[in-house]
Amino acid sequence: MSSLIDPILVAVLLLNLFALGNSRIMTVIRVVGVQGALLGILPLLVHEHFGLLPLVVSLLTVALKGLVIPFMLLRAMREAQIRREVAPSVGFLPSMILGAFSIGFSVLLAQELPMTQAHLGLLLVPASLSTVLIGFIMLTTRYKAISQVVGYLILENGIFIFGMLLVEAMPLMVELGVLLDLFVGIFVITIIVNHINEAFSSMDTRKLSALKE
Amino acid sequence: MIAMAFALILFPVAMAGVAMAFPSNRARPWLLPFTGTIHLVLTVWTLRNPELQAPVGWLVLDPPGRLILLVISLMFFLCSFYAIGYLRYRGDWSNRTFTSCLLAFLGVMTLVIWSHHLGLMWVAIEGTSLVTAPLIYFNRTPRSIEATWKYLLICSVGIALALLGSFFLAYASFHEGLESSLLFEDLLHHAPRLSKPWLHTAFVLLLVGYGTKMGLAPMHTWKPDAYGEAPGIVGALLAGGLTNCAFLAVLRIYHVMVAAGERVYGGKLLIFLGLLSMLVAGIFMIGQRDIKRMLAYSSVEHMGILVLGLGMGGIGAFGALLHLLNNSMTKGVLFLSAGNLRRAYDSKSIDDISGAMRRLPLSGTLFLFGFIAITGSPPFGPFVSEFTIVTAAFLDGRYVTGALFLLFLLIVFMGMGGTVLAAVQGRPSGRSRLIPYRDTFLTGAPVVVFMALSLLLGLWLPAPIRTLVQEAAHYLETRP
């Protein structure tokens, strides 16, 4: 089963780059939804024994990351009637290249960190670190509030990947706490996004510029 | 007896539920002092009876936790009376969400303090972001939306990095084949055997993550906006309550580093971030025209002082923990009186605020004395703790650190002084005289008590408080 882990992670990385290079926000949200659903399979693969708990975690992840959150974001978008990210501070192609660099950097960094025997050769650490970095790139270079939320989601996905290394060692309570927390965080953020939309008739965070030195 | 941890955490949360269901907008704010008083009484009772501090599962009250529990309970108690005065002034607005969130905030902060499990503490700190967001958003202006957005997004990213750091720390023990546990007792016990590369990376991630929540430079950018737009009472509870909880998280992580024999590595990073925060705060305070943003930068500065003292260890750590107490009391004075000034002038810029000592004699005077206290002038509390930290620096032979510390304090004094003196001196503008707002007992007395405590701590440190601070500083050197 664990031979499936690396192909999934490669797909996740490709989706990252695709999300960075796409200007249609609808597409980007769907891409991140697919990414979340793919990640939902991981808990089933990393557990050595098939049991009820990994199944529950897996189903919850797919439901939250793959369905509920993308649905909430898409609904917020439809109400705001925006389609495209306009002119990010770093262009789509340059940010894709930056993303590719971050993957290389993560591979180098991961080599510095010692792994246990069971995890040697797996892509979990570099995939996790580069997904975190790509989420960070998205957060800092995009102007639409929704795009920034998507960047945050990608960052959370990166952390989720790292969590897979600890699935056996950590109590399930913490895993569920993480999912719950993500859900609540996104929930509150979506509410605020709607308020931004009402107050400024746009979700462009460049309009949020009254507060600065 | 065992239920004390649960009582302290769940009682405010339950009262938040009561506030949600409470019908009268006028009477609802009284739930705040009711809860605050019971919380403070229970806290003092717990601190006086060690058998009540018995650990319950993941809930443990360690010595730094004891000190910070007392500080936040006292902050909330005093602020809760001010809240009645403030919400009466804003009587036309529904205070249902505001009151509930304030009460839940107290409960979640208490949970942060009691939780001795890295994961649980993380969930609790994330919880503080969620319950404070509606507080910052209370005024419902476009500017407050902007501030809330920045606060939520930047703090969420910070907290996400802290989660990754927690995972790294877990892997540091998993890698060495140790029983993987995120309980601080276990982490401290196994500290010397943790995998060093993982431990170092984990510390950096956790410091950046919880440092964001504390508002250390360069992760402080949400702070001036959030403190600037939030009501004064929320600013006081964030600067004197929440930042202490985030500091406690940093302290506990650093404790693991110390126990692992990595004091030098961790200490250097803390001292660097501390000095950087003081410098950045000082630069942005010069020529600052907005009194609340100025206070936010003052909070950045004092968070810097806390981690600086912590990084020096020994007497420096004692100074830092004492400073935590002094800073909170003095921030109570400054934020609450700044809130009064803001309402009296309908502005928070010194373009409009002048002659505050004539316009609002009580709040204006307290604001001035708060400034004198927070910049470390005798005879107030912050002077004693800052003096302790600088003495520790020179005694340890850290001359450059000590000299920079003094230089940055001077920059802050000059920068802050310009703004504060412009606000309190001179004559009130004609427009401000037309605004009917006056000091009232409820919005004045809590500020006077904060000021008195700040002065008292400078003149004489009561023995029980001294013991609390000493035990907390000593705890850093011990390993269970």
Which tokens go with A179? 């999912």
Q: Is the pLDDT of residue A212 over 60?
A: yes
Give tens-digit pLDDT for B397-429.
999 999 999 999 999 999 999 999 999 998 888
3-state SS of B222-233 is HHHHHHHHCCHH
3-state SS of B57-125 is CCECCCHHHHHHHHHHHHHHHHHHHHHHHHHHHCCCCCCHHHHHHHHHHHHHHHHHHHECEHHHHHHHH
Contacts A188 to B, Cβ<8 Å: 130, 133, 152
Confidence of residue B222 (pLDDT cuts 50, 70, 90): very high
**A101 min Cα distance to partner chain B (Å):** 20
* Cβ atoms of residues B383 and B376 within 8 Å: yes
Contacts A134 to B, Cβ<8 Å: none
Contacts A199 to B, Cβ<8 Å: 142, 145
Confidence of residue B210 (pLDDT cuts 50, 70, 90): very high
**B48 min Cα distance to partner chain A (Å):** 33
CB–CB contact B133 A188 (8 Å): yes
State the burial class of residue A191 (Cβ atoms within 10 Å of its Cβ: 0-12, 13-18, 19+). Answer: middle
Of the partner residues B147, B153, B171, the one whose CB lies closest to the CB of residue A165: B171
Name residue B174's beta-bridge partners. Answer: none
**Of the candidates B93, B118, B107, B365, the residue with the CA atom closest to the CA atom of residue B237:** B107
pLDDT at A117: 76
**% of chain B at pLDDT higher than 90:** 71
Using a CB–CB cutoff of 8 Å, tell me whether B38 touches chain A: no
Lowest mean pLDDT among A83-92, A166-175, B163-172, B195-204: A166-175
**Of the candidates B142, B279, B135, B265, the residue with the CA atom closest to the CA atom of residue B194:** B265
Chain A residue with minimal CA distance to B283?
Answer: A213
Give tens-digit pLDDT for B266-313.
999 999 999 999 999 999 999 899 999 999 999 999 999 999 999 998
CA distances (Å), B384 to each of B127, B306, B367, in order?
A: 34, 14, 20
Contacts A205 to B, Cβ<8 Å: 149
| Substitution target from B108, B115, B126 for chain A, most A beta carbons within 10 A | B126
pLDDT at B174: 84
CB–CB contact B229 A184 (8 Å): no
Which tokens go with B5? 């941890």
Give tens-digit pLDDT for A135-190.
999 988 887 778 888 888 898 889 888 888 887 776 555 566 566 656 666 666 67
* Domain locations in chain A as residue ranges: 2-207
- Token pair 């304090």 in the structure block, residue: B409
Between chain A and chain B, the number of residue pairs with CB atoms below 8 A apart is: 103
CA distances (Å), B186 to each of A120, B9, B183, in order?
A: 26, 24, 5
**Gap between the Cα atoms of B62 and A164, Å rounded:** 31
When pLDDT is averaged across residues A39-49 and rounded to a whole number, the result is: 81
pLDDT at B140: 84
CB–CB contact B175 A114 (8 Å): yes
Which tokens go with A212? 């600065």
| Substitution target from B123, B137, B153 for chain A, most A beta carbons within 10 A | B153
**Gap between the Cα atoms of A21 and A28, Å rounded:** 9
**Gap between the Cα atoms of A116 and A111, Å rounded:** 13
Residues 6+ apart with CB under 8 A from B39: B8, B11, B12, B73, B76, B77, B106, B110
pLDDT at A203: 62
User: Which string of b and e fits B356-386 if b means at least 16 CB within 10 Å?
Assistant: bbebbebbbbbbbbbbbbbbbeeebbbbbbb
ipTM rounded to 2 decimals: 0.89
CA distances (Å), B434 to each of B339, B342, B359, in order?
A: 18, 14, 11
pLDDT mean across residues, chain B: 92
CA distances (Å), A97 to each of A27, A137, B132, B297, in order?
A: 20, 11, 38, 37
| Substitution target from B167, B213, B290, B294 for chain A, most A beta carbons within 10 A | B167
User: Which string of b and e fits B27-61 if b means at least 16 CB within 10 Å?
Assistant: ebbbbbbebbebbbebbeebbeeeebbeeeebbbb
**B157 min Cα distance to partner chain A (Å):** 7
Q: Phi and psi at residue A96, in whole multiples of 5°?
A: -65, -45
State the burial class of residue B286 (Cβ atoms within 10 Å of its Cβ: 0-12, 13-18, 19+). Answer: middle
Q: Phi and psi at residue B60, in whole multiples of 5°?
A: -130, 140
* Cβ atoms of residues B96 and B25 within 8 Å: yes
Q: Is the pLDDT of residue A204 over 80?
A: no
Give tens-digit pLDDT for B133-182.
999 988 888 888 888 888 988 898 898 899 889 889 988 888 888 777 78
Chain B residue with minimal CA distance to A178?
Answer: B123
SS3 (DSSP) at B151:
helix
Confidence of residue A53 (pLDDT cuts 50, 70, 90): confident
pLDDT at A148: 85
CB–CB contact A152 B156 (8 Å): yes
CB–CB contact A162 B197 (8 Å): no
Contacts B171 to A, Cβ<8 Å: 165-166
CA dihedral (B123, B127, B128, B129) in degrees, to 10, reads 110
Angle at which helix B196-214 crosses helix B142-175, to 10 degrees, equals 160
CB–CB contact A114 B180 (8 Å): no
Which tokens go with B304? 């810097």
| Substitution target from B122, B129, B146, B297 for chain A, most A beta carbons within 10 A | B146
User: Which string of b and e fits B213-230 if b means at least 16 CB within 10 Å?
Assistant: bbbbbebbbbbbbbbbbb
**Gap between the Cα atoms of A158 and A169, Å rounded:** 19
